[in-house]
Amino acid sequence: MGVHCEINLFKPTDGAFLPGSTVSGVIKYAVDEETVFNKIDVSLKGNGRLIIRDDSRRRRRSVYTYRNSEEYVDIENIVHNDDKAPPLPAGSYEFPFSFTLPHSIPASLHYYRKTVKYRIRCIINYYISIKFHRPGLFKFAKKFKKEITVVPAIKARLPMEPTIYGEQKKLFQLFSRKPNIVNIKANIECCVIKRGGHVNMNYEIFNHTDLNIKGVETKLVEIYTFTTKGHRKVKMYRDIENTDTKTGTISSGVSQNMDVTINVPSDLGSLEYSNLVSRDYFVYITAIIPFPHFNAVLEVPLQIGDTNDPSFETVDDPPPSYWEVMAEDEKKGDGLKEDGDNEDSENDEIS
């Protein structure tokens, strides 16, 4: 008995599906001889799998491996279900199908990365599946499937109006009575960006130290956070190419003001709604401070993706000036995060 099957999708223009959209098409199949099927079902399925191998903890030939998995969608449509059905004559057949993707699902993902410490593989895939079941104990179901691509969609949780972020870095210097502070403030028009959109922002850096800041770098950074069973987390960082800008020295007691526009590549998007993995984006503004001090870094969070919010990426009012913000700080007390006792600290990649 031979079953030949073809799954034809009615794809959107770009070939990918948004969460909440309809996945439909036509399934065509043919049997080359009279065959009995007691059940035929069509399904929309989506799941995720994560494997992390920790090569740093290798002992002899054993390797520490951490895993996790989850299911995002499993919708079944039974086309035929009859244990006493007559044989299906040889020939060609077809029938339509239609499913609706849930709104709160992550985008498709095929990720692999190998570092000195880790080997990480994470897959999130969605597919249409059809099974032909035959009666009998040793007659296994014949299965066909076709993968579909789901693109990132986000629910805006970051500000969509002009917003100010700030960071203060205190430097420890012997024989200095005055505070040595590097102050970074950034005004961003909108933290929620469409795929292929633009990040528009302005930053201002005050060098209230006895040192010369060697330069300032801005760049877009992608951060994957993987979570295994037992809630072990591993982070992977990647600088996005062609998004960095650099400026020159900031002398002691001098400030620098700069407008920045970052063109977001169209293939980038935040990954949400998964307990296995998240993909987040930040604009890093780094004031490069001479050794032995660590750099001052302001991280401005972004969400990148499509949303149905009608106010998406609309800006009515420009962000307030740095001086307006400083005046408010003097009235209310500066609420910016400080390094405190943990001066010149660095963020760990593994938690």
- Let me know whether 170 and 293 are in one domain: yes
Percent of the chain at pLDDT above 90? 62
- Let me know whether 121 and 193 are in one domain: no
- Let me know whether 179 and 99 are in one domain: no
C-alpha distance across the termini of the chain, in Å: 54
Task: Decide if 156 is inside a domain.
Answer: no
DSSP strand pairing (181-188 vs 198-208): antiparallel
Per-residue confidence (pLDDT) for residue 211, from 0 to 100: 87
* DSSP assignments along 26-62, one per residue: EEEEEESS-B--SEEEEEEEEEEEEEEEEEEEEETTE
Per-residue confidence (pLDDT) for residue 270, from 0 to 100: 96
Per-residue confidence (pLDDT) for residue 317, from 0 to 100: 43
Mean pLDDT, range 225-234, rounded to an integer: 92
Report pLDDT digits (tens) over 271-324.
999 999 999 999 999 999 988 888 999 999 999 998 755 454 443 444 444 334
Per-residue confidence (pLDDT) for residue 27, from 0 to 100: 96
Mean pLDDT, range 111-132, rounded to an integer: 95
* Three-class DSSP category at 342: coil
pLDDT(172) > 80:
no
pLDDT(137) > 70:
no
Domain boundary pick from 113, 148, 183: 148
* Three-class DSSP category at 189: coil
Band of pLDDT at residue 34, cut at 50, 70 and 90: confident
Cα atoms in the 13 Å half-sphere on the side-chain side of 195? 14
Task: Decide if 31 is inside a domain.
Answer: yes
pLDDT(244) > 80:
yes
- Let me know whether 222 and 326 are in one domain: yes
Q: How far apart are CA 83 and CA 286, in angstroms?
A: 68
Band of pLDDT at residue 333, cut at 50, 70 and 90: very low
Contacts of 19 (CB under 8 A, 6+ apart): 101, 102, 103, 104, 105, 150, 153, 273
Mean pLDDT, range 149-173, rounded to an integer: 91
Report pLDDT digits (tens) over 123-136.
999 999 999 988 87
- Let me know whether 100 and 232 are in one domain: no
Per-residue confidence (pLDDT) for residue 157, from 0 to 100: 92
Per-residue confidence (pLDDT) for residue 327, from 0 to 100: 43
Instruction: For residue 70, give the CATH number of its domain.
Output: 2.60.40.640
Quote the tokens at residue 105.
């699902």
- Let me know whether 177 and 143 are in one domain: no
Give the residue from 307, 333, 351 showing the smallest Cα distance to 152: 307
Mean pLDDT, range 80-102, rounded to an integer: 88
- Let me know whether 98 and 129 are in one domain: yes
Per-residue confidence (pLDDT) for residue 347, from 0 to 100: 38
Angle at 28 (CA atoms; ends 25, 31), nearest 5 degrees: 160
Mean pLDDT, range 179-199, rounded to an integer: 94
Per-residue confidence (pLDDT) for residue 10, from 0 to 100: 95
Which domain, by its residues, includes 264?
A: 163-332
The chain-wide mean pLDDT, for the chain, equals: 85
Report pLDDT digits (tens) over 210-223.
889 999 999 999 99
Per-residue confidence (pLDDT) for residue 209, from 0 to 100: 85
- Let me know whether 17 and 106 are in one domain: yes
pLDDT(13) > 70:
yes
**Edge-to-edge strands of the sheet including 255-263?**
163-170, 181-188, 198-208, 255-263
- Let me know whether 252 and 275 are in one domain: yes
- Let me know whether 169 and 316 are in one domain: yes
Quote the tokens at residue 252.
């002691």
349 vs 121, which has greater pLDDT? 121
pLDDT(41) > 90:
yes
Q: Number of structural domains, the chain? A: 2
Task: Decide if 175 is inside a domain.
Answer: yes
